[in-house]
Each structure stands twice: as structure tokens, then as C-alpha cells.
Structure 1
Amino acid sequence: MKVEMFGLSLPEVKPGDDLARILVDSCVKEAGGIRDGDILVVTSKIVSKAHGLLIKVGEVKPGVKALKIAKKTGMDPKMVQAVLDNSDEILFAVPFMKLVEKGLINIECVAQDKERAYQAVRKIPCLLIVRRGGQIYSDAGLDFSNHPEGIASIPPEDPDEYAKELREEIRGITGKEVAVIISDTEVAPFVGSLDLARGASGIEVVSRKFGELDRYGKPKFGGVDHVANELACASALLMGQTSEGIPAVLIRGLKYVKSEEGISSYSLSSKTVRAIIKEIIKQTIRITGIKSILRLMFSLTI
């Protein structure tokens, strides 16, 4: 199997632009056009730009709750309010600056310019991890990079629907059947970042091979690849995170299962997540005893 990836350089996308047409034109230039079975991975940011999902944070008026959170975290109250306005609930807070100051995160090992790195940390001393539309985001997915100062893009509220709309528009222009994935960069646990699939259309998001026989005829515990996330991560290698100017990638040659499902097809409700955590804790207590849980809880409080 041969798989090709083409980074798509696009002009600056503005509110009201025909994103489908822009992508098609770039595919003609970079990959000789669009073919049936191609996959387009597009950043959430350019989707937000095209649809005018932008805010001027300086014009946001913080409420009482935002002011309280800002005082406790060192965050800009207007930024906190913007996060609250674009999320369903705050799950937890990551005191990033404090982790750096305590030496728990070595920011210098992932930065080429130490001073610029510390400037970035001081600007965002804390990350608010929130639930938004059935998915988890840091700072509600607000994105300030590659925008004018004070402007942030807001992620599409229903990324699957936006992916479907973009796919249909591309089909209308080209007559070709493609899959579309909307990706977004998110903080990875402990170090770095990963690009995740936030929306999808035209592709089976998760492979359904749990229990399939391996080469020795045994049912496999696993085989459930998150195909959409893997494609988002692969595309990020071409997109980059700073000034590369490649907000979309065309993937060609990959065999995949076509589907009308989306990322939301696999979202878990808060009630389900709580029930899963409860069962994990109960089983852990049965195996290691309640003292292990108490020790863990105590270690988190000191």
C-alpha cells in the first residue's frame, strides 16, 4: 500500500470565504486535483475563520465567577469569561506556571528561545480543562495563534456537521467522494501536544476489529484504532504549529471504510464517565484495598 500526503498552502482565510473552493483550488495546485477516496484533514481554525467564529477578547465583560477564577489562577478575567461563555462546565484546572516554577515541567527542554517560552507561560499561567459539546478542550478550544493581537477563534459548535457540509460542498464542486476530518491541537498528558479529530464525515472514525482473529486464530483484545485521530496526528507533521502556513492536508491512497458517522458517535455522557470511574475505583479497592485509594488521595492533598 502506498499512502501520499500533500500539505495544502492556503491564502489567508477570512469570514465569508468559500473554504471548499479554496481547498479544491489548492488541491489542484499541490496534488493534481481531488480524486475519489481522498481524505482532507482541515484545521478547526480555518473552518472557524471562514464561518466568522471569532471574538475580540478585549471586548468581553467578565462576570463575578470569571473574576473569582481569575484571582485564583492569575488568568486574564476576560479570557476566563470567554472560556465560560464557550463551554458547558469546567472539569479541572492545570496550574501550568506553577508546575514550571516548581521544576515539575522543564519548559527549556522544549523551547529554542528560553525567554520567549517564559513569555508564553506568563501569558497563560493556567489552563482550564472544560467539557464542550461532549468533547474535552483546554481553554474551550479558544485559539489565539496566527490571529491579530486580541483575536481568538472559537471551535465550531458541531464539528461533525461542519465536516459534512464541507464534504458535500467539495462533492458539489468536483463530483468526487472524499472524507473530511476537522482537526484541532490539544495538550497531551505530561508533555507536548497532539492533533485530535474534532469532527469527521465520510469515514469510519473508529475501526471495528475488537475480537477479530489474529494470525494465530485467537480473538484480539484490541484492534480498535481511532482512525480519525491517527490521521489528524499524521497531518500535523506537515501542518506544524507556528508559521508553516499549511492548515490542511490531502491524504491519498489510504484504504478506509466509508461511513456517515462522526466523532460525536463515540462521545460519552458525563453520567457514563462517572459510572466508569466509579467501577474502576470499586475494582481497585477490591484488589489493592481501600488504603491504597486513601494514600493516593492523601498524596494529592500535600
Structure 2
Amino acid sequence: MFQNTISIYPWLNFPQISKKCDLAEVIMKFCKKECANLKDGDILCIASKIISKSQGLFVDLNTIKPSGLALKIHHEVPRKDPRIIQLIINQTEDLSGKRLQISPNFIGGWLTNGLFLTSAGVDKIGEDMAIVLPNNCDEIAKQIAEKIYEKMGKRVAIVITDSDGRIDKKGATQIAVGLYGLNGLRKTQSNGKINVETICDMLAASAGLLMGQRGNMVPIVTICGFEYEFDRDATVEDTVN
């Protein structure tokens, strides 16, 4: 039996992250200031954008020279800055472009961990600035969760979320790009058949109801009441085909 209810709480007025920092420390200071009562078993969903910023993964687009492939793709998708397209290619670590999916309004890319993301996780944050995803969001989620446990004594799980579009639908949803403490898959059995749900993406999408998209300024939410077994070894790569 699954639980009947969960609760989702937005972290309003969380400090804006604009440079490299210890995000776990920022989170704990915010909890103390706002008297936020983290409990064992809570799940923190954290937007990948503040993860990237806290890791200092800023890219000055003036340092990026588009390749012939990037310029060719720009001709097919003119709304995309060719420098961003080059970053997307770089993030897939395949300069041939074979790890890209392209349509007139969409560029997606497979990362080296097997995840497929819109723009390969590249996000433009200014006229000449972009951020990219860390290589290992699982490890960063672990570091944050373990520091919270060490300093606050609360055993929480972390799901790092990222906005993601689909080639067949308008708009965007949220998916998991990193996790710690929570198995990304939930398996149930009925009529002799094993059913598998990508539970980390369900949680990420639920968090997205309050986090919203660009400019909504809710980079973290807490999900309470979701029952799970704490799993130190689970990674987002476990969910990849």
C-alpha cells in the first residue's frame, strides 16, 4: 500500500546563488534563520541551476568559438545562439554531433551518464553567460545530504531537478538529474508482473508545481510524507536504459 498523502513546501526567499559557494552551508543557515524544521525522511528537491552556480560552472560565451557543426545546427535552429550550441556539443563529449537530437524548435543531447536532456543541460543566464551541469550530480547530492546529517542530525534524501522539454509537447516539466538517499525506481508487483516507476522523476515533477520555471525564484522544496527506504548507494544512473 502506498501512503495517501504527501506535503510539498516551497523554500521562499532562499538566498540568490550568484557565485561558487558551499551550498550545504547556505541551506543550513537558511534553515536556522527561517526556523525550518527538517525531519528525518524529508526529501529536498533542489534546482540544478543553483547546484551549477554553487559549483562555479559559469561559462563566458565570449570564450566559445562555434565549430562548423555548431553553425550548421544554428542554421537549422536559428533561435539558438551558436555559442550555446557549441556548449551543448561539448557537454555530450562527442564533437561529431551523433549524441544530439535536433528538430526546428528543439536541441537535445545525451550526456555521458546516459541522461538525455534538452540542450544537454546547458542554460543561458545572460547575454554572454551560461551555466552547465556538473559531471556528477549524485555525488553533490550526497555531499549536501551528508553535511546536513553531520551538522543538523537529520537524515534527508536529495533529488536534484532540471527543467526538461519534450520534442512532442509544448512547454517543460522537471526531471531528476541527480539523487542521494532514495532509489530512483519504485518496483511493484501485480498479477505476476513487475511494474517499474521512475519515482525520482515523479518527485521532481511534483516539486516543479511549486518551483516553477525561470524567474519563479523557488529553487528548493521539501517533500514530506513520502515513504521510502534510505539508500546510500542509489544513483540517477540506475534509472537510465
TM-score where L is the length of structure 1:
0.70
1:62 deviates by 1.5
2:127 counterpart of 1:149? yes
Which whole-Å CA distance do the structure 2 matches of 1:180 and 1:161 have between them?
A: 11
1:34 deviates by 1.4
What's 1:170 paired with?
A: 148
Which whole-Å CA distance do the structure 2 matches of 1:72 and 1:235 have between them?
A: 34
Q: Is the 8 A contact 2:47 2:220 kept in 1?
A: yes
Q: Is the 8 A contact 1:70 1:77 kept in 2?
A: yes
What's 1:248 paired with?
A: 220
Instruction: Note the alpha carbon deviations across 1:97-121, whole angstroms, 9 max, x for none.
Output: xxxxxxxxxxxxxxxxxxxxxxxxx
Which whole-Å CA distance do the structure 2 matches of 1:142 and 1:266 have between them?
A: 21
What's 1:286 paired with?
A: none
Q: Is the 8 A contact 1:6 1:30 kept in 2?
A: no
1:2 deviates by 4.2
Q: Is the 8 A contact 2:187 2:194 kept in 1?
A: no
What's 1:105 paired with?
A: none
Higher mean C-alpha deviation, range 81-90 or range 254-263: 81-90
Q: Is the 8 A contact 1:163 1:182 kept in 2?
A: yes
2:237 to 254, 264, 268: 264
* Secondary structure in 2 matching 1:200: strand
1:40 deviates by 0.4
Which whole-Å CA distance do the structure 1 matches of 2:37 and 2:162 have between them?
A: 25
Q: 1:31 to 1:193 in 2, by over 3 A?
A: farther
What's 2:198 paired with?
A: 226
Which whole-Å CA distance do the structure 1 matches of 2:139 and 2:86 have between them?
A: 26
**How many residues are aligned here?**
229
Which whole-Å CA distance do the structure 2 matches of 1:242 and 1:64 have between them?
A: 31
Which whole-Å CA distance do the structure 2 matches of 1:77 and 1:148 have between them?
A: 15
Which whole-Å CA distance do the structure 1 matches of 2:77 and 2:223 have between them?
A: 41
* Secondary structure in 1 matching 2:39: coil
Which whole-Å CA distance do the structure 2 matches of 1:148 and 1:64 have between them?
A: 24
Q: Is the 8 A contact 2:122 2:130 kept in 1?
A: yes
Report % sequence identity.
Answer: 29
What's 1:47 paired with?
A: 51
Computing the radius of gyration from Cα coordinates, the structure with the larger value is 1
Greater RCO (Cα-Cα under 8 Å, separation 6 or more): 2
Instruction: Note the alpha carbon deviations across 1:13-38, whole angstroms, 9 max, x for none.
Output: 13332211222233445563211111
> Mapping of 1:31-180 within 5 angstroms?
32-74=36-78, 75-88=80-93, 89-96=98-105, 127-133=106-112, 134-144=114-124, 147-180=125-158
Q: Is the 8 A contact 2:44 2:220 kept in 1?
A: yes
Q: Is the 8 A contact 2:89 2:100 kept in 1?
A: no
Which whole-Å CA distance do the structure 1 matches of 2:71 and 2:46 have between them?
A: 35
* Cα root mean square deviation, aligned: 1.9
Structure 1 unaligned blocks of 5 or more: 97-126, 269-302
Q: 1:158 to 1:265 in 2, by over 3 A?
A: same
Structure 1: which amino acid aligns with 2:123?
A: D
Structure 1: which amino acid aligns with 2:181?
A: G
Q: 1:220 to 1:30 in 2, by over 3 A?
A: farther
